[in-house]
């Protein structure tokens, strides 16, 4: 492949720094670097608190479990979720005994079909899990307006849209909690990794507990003091306050994250420039593609959405033959996946459109004008 989805982001300098860090440090499990990365990420994202975990999926799991505990959600309470996203936006909802209520997506910012949201809200609706997909920020203002005075909280899956902004504010600041992924193909990578952002102190503390066995000693010092006193008969070293997991990361991943965070603004700029060029190229083949630009976006990939399914299949295979790696648009219509079929009640036209008429190719800091020109030539050949 001459245009893979992602390429090696670890240059020689970063590898050398990482090796030196490992040689010099005796403790590599979660410790000071994790805290340092969390503080730096909070500052970068404009959030009060951040919690580093071992993946974006783990971040979503902790977000749902923490909310269930804090807000005392009952089994079968309802969480509104999109039918197009990565499966692990949905699976924590099911695993927590809650009920996912699926809503079709729109074909502009790929979040919910906003006109359908109100219809699915019931007395049992507890939260809306918004996914900011492929770099587009969802229309949070619109969602908040629809929620109105109802007691429904917002959660954000920002795994594909790190750095996307709504009116100058970064995603991950509009709900109780936001999740980020630092997996290989994402805006920045720690090899594997994820982050939770929040501006809510109680939610932050609960996430710290859930990340690490429910242990009280994971909490900020002030809270530790409070629980030491409250449970003075227990040995504080092994005092468990919440039903937790072990979803911790390591000092190695945190060290990588701090290095990558220094480069992320430049990389997002390159991604967005590539995306603009991509749109300009697609516009030359009018009536074939349906992609738009959003000035708050932080492009994740370069998506092709085509009116004609057969042409889409042919184009995808043509690009593959010419060394360009492709993927389905996220995971298509999730309700067509075997593990979710039992939730399928009606047909979601836009999700089906994405399933059958869309795919994407990689966008990252390694993509330059030369490659974009090549893509233009390939498209010209294809249409001739």
Ligand X SMILES: Cc1ncc(COP(=O)(O)O)c(C=O)c1O
Taking the complex as a whole, the smallest distance from the CB of residue 247 to ligand X amounts, in Å, to 11
What would the DSSP string read from start to end of 196-235?
Answer: EEES-HHHHHHHHHHHBTTBGGGS-HHHHHHHHHHTTTS-
Q: Which of 56, 137, 177, 303 binds ligand X (CB under 6 A)?
A: 56
Angle at 7 between CA 381 and CA 34, to 5 degrees: 150
Closest to ligand X by CB, 85 or 364: 85
For residue 240, the minimal CB distance to ligand X (Å) is 26
CA distance 149 to 153: 11
Considering only residues 183 through 222, tell me which ones interact with ligand X, judged by CB under 6 A.
183, 194
CB count within 10 Å of CB 26 equals 5
Between 3 and 329, whose beta carbon lies closer to ligand X? 329
The residue among 55 and 106 lying less far from ligand X, judged by its C-beta, is: 55
Q: State the nearest-atom distance from the C-beta of 216 to ligand X, in Å.
A: 27
**Interaction of residue 363 with ligand X, rule CB under 6 A:** no
Residue of this chain nearest to ligand X (CB atom): 56
Among 201, 228, 203, which Cα is nearest to 216's? 228
Nearer Cβ to ligand X, position 330 or 379? 330
- Cβ closer to ligand X: 195 or 259? 195
Residues 115-174 binding ligand X (CB under 6 A) are 131, 157, 159-160
- Return the active site residues: 186
- Closest contact distance (angstroms) between CB of 273 and ligand X is 22
For residue 220, what are the CA distances in angstroms to 205, 207, 225, 372? 8, 12, 9, 49
DSSP of 48-108? SEEEEES-HHHHHHHHHHHHHHHTTPPTT-EEEEESSS-HHHHHHHHHTT-EEEEE-B-SS
Mask of contacts with ligand X, 80-99, x by CB under 6 A?
-----xx-xx----------
- Give which of 301, 15, 364, 54 is closest to 196, Cα–Cα: 54
57 is a site residue for ligand X (CB under 6 A): yes
Q: Name, in order, each residue with C-beta under 8 angstroms of 86's C-beta and a sequence gap of 6 or more.
A: 56, 57, 131, 157, 159, 160, 330, 331
Minimum gap (Å) between residue 241 Cβ and ligand X: 26
Question: Given the rule CB under 6 A, which residues bind ligand X?
Answer: 55-57, 60, 85-86, 88-89, 131, 157, 159-160, 181, 183, 194
């Amino acid at each position: 492949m001459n245009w893979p989805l992602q390429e090696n982001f670890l240059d020689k300098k970063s590898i050398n720094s990482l090796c030196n860090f490992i040689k010099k440090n005796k403790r590599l499990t979660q410790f000071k670097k994790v805290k340092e990365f969390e503080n730096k990420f909070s500052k970068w994202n404009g959030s009060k608190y951040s919690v580093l975990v071992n993946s974006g999926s783990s971040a979503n799991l902790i977000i749902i479990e923490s909310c269930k505990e804090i807000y005392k959600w009952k089994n079968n309470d309802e969480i509104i979720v999109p039918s197009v996203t990565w499966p692990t936006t949905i699976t924590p909802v099911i695993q927590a005994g809650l009920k996912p209520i699926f809503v079709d997506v729109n074909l502009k910012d790929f979040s919910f079909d906003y006109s359908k949201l109100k219809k699915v809200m019931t007395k049992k609706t507890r939260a809306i899990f918004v996914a900011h997909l492929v770099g587009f920020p969802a229309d949070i203002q619109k969602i908040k307006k629809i929620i109105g005075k109802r007691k429904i909280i917002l959660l954000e899956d920002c795994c594909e849209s790190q750095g996307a902004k709504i009116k100058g504010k970064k995603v991950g600041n509009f709900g109780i909690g936001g999740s980020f992924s630092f997996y290989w193909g994402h805006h920045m990578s720690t090899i594997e990794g994820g982050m939770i952002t929040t501006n809510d102190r109680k939610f932050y503390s609960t996430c710290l507990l859930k990340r690490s066995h429910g242990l009280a000693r994971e909490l900020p010092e002030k809270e530790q003091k409070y629980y030491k006193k409250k449970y003075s008969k227990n040995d504080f070293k092994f005092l468990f306050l919440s039903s937790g997991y072990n979803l911790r990361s390591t000092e190695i991943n945190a060290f990588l994250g701090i290095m990558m965070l220094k480069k992320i603004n430049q990389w997002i700029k390159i991604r967005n420039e590539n995306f603009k060029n991509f749109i300009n190229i697609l516009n030359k083949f009018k009536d074939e593609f349906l992609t738009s630009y959003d000035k708050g976006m932080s492009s994740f990939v370069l998506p092709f959405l085509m009116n004609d399914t057969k042409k889409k299949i042919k184009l995808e295979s043509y690009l593959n033959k010419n060394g360009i790696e492709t993927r389905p648009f996220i995971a298509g219509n999730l309700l067509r996946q075997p593990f979710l079929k039992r939730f399928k009640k009606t047909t979601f036209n836009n999700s089906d459109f994405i399933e059958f008429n869309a795919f994407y190719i990689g966008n990252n800091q390694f993509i330059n004008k030369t490659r974009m020109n090549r893509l233009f030539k390939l498209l010209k050949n294809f249409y001739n």
